[in-house]
Amino acid sequence: NERLAAMTGQRLHIQNYTKLSAVCTHPDFLGRGFAGALLTHQLNLIISHGQVPFLHVREDNSRAIALYERLGFTVSRPMNFYFMIRQ
């Protein structure tokens, strides 16, 4: 119905690493496998170009972490996120 259900992409190509980014699923479409299918497609593209995929995720995003682990990702190190608010 011409609605964006899920998306992902690539950003930052550093040496032989490519970052997966903008992994998002609209709440109305959660649990249907869209993010997994899109990530698998991106992973296949990245690996076919001889690159190593990586991504970051907030440690409290357990749903995303579970998906990434099912796709073979492992935690390499914690990352701090800083949010700025315009006042």
Q: Report pLDDT digits (tens) over 51-74.
A: 999 999 988 889 999 999 999 999
Q: How do residues 17-38 score in pLDDT, each as one tens digit?
A: 999 998 999 999 999 999 999 9
CA 69 centroid distance within chain: 11
Q: pTM of the predicted model, to two decimals?
A: 0.82
Classify residue 8 by its DSSP letter.
E
- Under 8 Å between Cβ of 10 and 21: yes
